C-alpha cells in the first residue's frame, strides 16, 4: 500500500505525477508555468486529465542562473499554499534538494518531498520525518545539483541504484518518514549516460522486487532524445514507449508532462496485465 497525502493506492494502481515548473527557464516548457495564472491552469488541467499528484519545482535540473534557497522558496511556497486551497484533495509534491525549502513547503501544505538529487542535503529527509510527509529517494550517482554527467562509469549501474536508494529509504524510515510514503527512483539521466538509463529501465523489475514503490521520471529526457536522435519537442512517443515498458515491469508513479497520453498508456498496460477491466467490452457480445 502506497499512502500519499489523504490517498491510498494499492500495489497495482498506477499514479500520475504532473510536472508544474515554477521556473523561467525549464528545459521543456521554457517557463510556460512560471507565472501564477498559467501554473494554476496547468494544475486544473492535469487534475482533470487524471493526475493524482502535482509536482512543483522552483529550480530547473540543468545548469543555469543561480537560484538561491530564498528565491526557490519565493517561487514555490505561496504557490503550494494556493494549490492546497483550491485543490484540497490533490497530492502536492515539491521537487527540491534543500531542507530549508522543504520545511517551508511542508508548512504550506506539501504532502511529498521529491529529492531528485539523492540526499545531497541529508537534512531534507529529517524534515520529511518531522512533518510525516512522503519522500522520493533518488539515485543521482553522487552528482552535485544542477550538474551534467561527464564520463560516469559503474561496474553495475543497477547494483549502485539499489545500494543508494535502499539506503536512503531505510534512513528515511528511521527518521520518521512513514514506510508506506517512501518511494525509490532510479534517477534517469541523473549521474548517468544514455546507456545507463536504458539499462536502468530494462532492469526496473529489480527495483520493484524490493517491495518499495518505484517512481520513474522519464518525460522527454535526454536519454530518450539520444536513443531516437530527437530534439526535446519530439520525444513524446519515445517517452510513452518507455512508460509502457516501465509499467509492465511494475513501476507505480510516473512524473510526466503529458498527463492524458500517459493515462491512456497506463490504463492499456494495466488492462493487458489483468489489473484493470476494459472501459467498454461489447465486441462479440452484442
**Which residues are known catalytic residues?**
221, 255
Q: Which three cell numbers stand for residue 25?
A: 527557464
SS3 of 57-117: ECCCCCCCCCCCHHHHHHHHHHHHHHHHHHCCCCEEEEECCCHHHHHHHHHHCCCEEEECC
CA–CA gap between residue 91 and residue 118 (Å, rounded)? 21
CA–CA gap between residue 133 and residue 129 (Å, rounded)? 7
SS3 of residue 257 by DSSP: coil
CA–CA gap between residue 241 and residue 78 (Å, rounded)? 36
DSSP tag of 180: G
**Do residues 138 and 117 lie in contact, with contact meaning Cβ atoms separated by under 8 Å?**
yes
CA–CA gap between residue 173 and residue 208 (Å, rounded)? 18
CA–CA gap between residue 165 and residue 188 (Å, rounded)? 13
* CA-based nearest residue to 209, from 184, 227, 188, 174: 184
3-state SS of the chain: helix, strand, coil percent to 5? 45, 15, 40
CA–CA gap between residue 270 and residue 231 (Å, rounded)? 30
Amino acid at each position: 500500500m502506497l499512502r500519499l497525502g489523504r490517498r491510498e493506492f494499492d500495489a497495482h494502481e498506477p499514479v500520475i505525477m504532473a510536472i508544474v515548473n515554477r521556473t523561467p527557464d525549464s528545459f521543456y516548457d521554457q517557463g510556460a508555468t512560471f507565472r501564477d495564472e498559467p501554473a494554476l491552469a496547468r494544475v486544473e488541467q492535469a487534475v482533470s486529465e487524471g493526475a493524482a499528484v502535482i509536482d512543483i519545482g522552483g529550480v530547473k535540473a540543468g545548469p543555469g542562473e543561480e537560484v538561491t534557497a530564498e528565491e526557490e522558496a519565493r517561487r514555490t511556497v505561496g504557490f503550494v499554499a494556493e494549490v492546497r486551497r483550491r485543490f484540497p484533495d490533490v497530492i502536492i509534491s515539491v521537487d527540491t534538494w534543500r531542507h530549508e525549502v522543504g520545511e517551508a513547503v511542508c508548512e504550506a501544505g506539501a504532502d511529498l518531498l521529491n529529492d531528485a538529487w539523492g540526499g545531497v542535503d541529508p537534512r531534507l529527509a529529517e524534515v520529511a520525518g518531522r512533518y510525516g510527509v512522503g519522500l522520493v529517494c533518488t539515485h543521482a550517482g553522487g552528482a552535485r545539483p544542477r550538474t551534467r554527467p561527464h564520463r560516469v562509469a559503474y561496474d553495475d549501474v543497477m547494483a549502485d541504484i539499489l545500494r543508494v536508494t535502499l539506503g536512503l529509504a531505510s534512513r528515511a524510515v528511521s527518521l520518521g518518514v512513514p514506510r508506506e510514503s517512501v518511494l525509490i527512483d532510479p534517477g534517469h539521466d541523473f549521474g548517468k549516460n544514455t546507456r545507463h538509463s536504458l539499462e536502468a529501465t530494462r532492469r526496473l523489475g529489480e527495483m520493484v522486487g524490493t517491495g518499495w514503490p518505484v517512481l520513474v521520471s522519464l518525460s522527454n529526457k535526454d536519454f530518450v532524445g539520444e536513443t531516437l536522435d530527437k530534439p526535446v519537442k519530439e520525444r513524446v512517443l519515445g517517452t510513452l514507449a518507455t512508460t509502457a515498458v516501465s509499467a509492465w515491469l511494475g513501476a507505480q508513479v510516473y512524473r510526466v508532462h503529458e498527463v492524458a497520453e500517459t493515462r491512456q498508456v497506463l490504463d492499456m498496460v494495466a488492462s493487458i496485465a489483468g489489473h484493470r477491466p476494459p472501459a467498454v467490452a461489447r465486441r462479440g457480445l452484442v
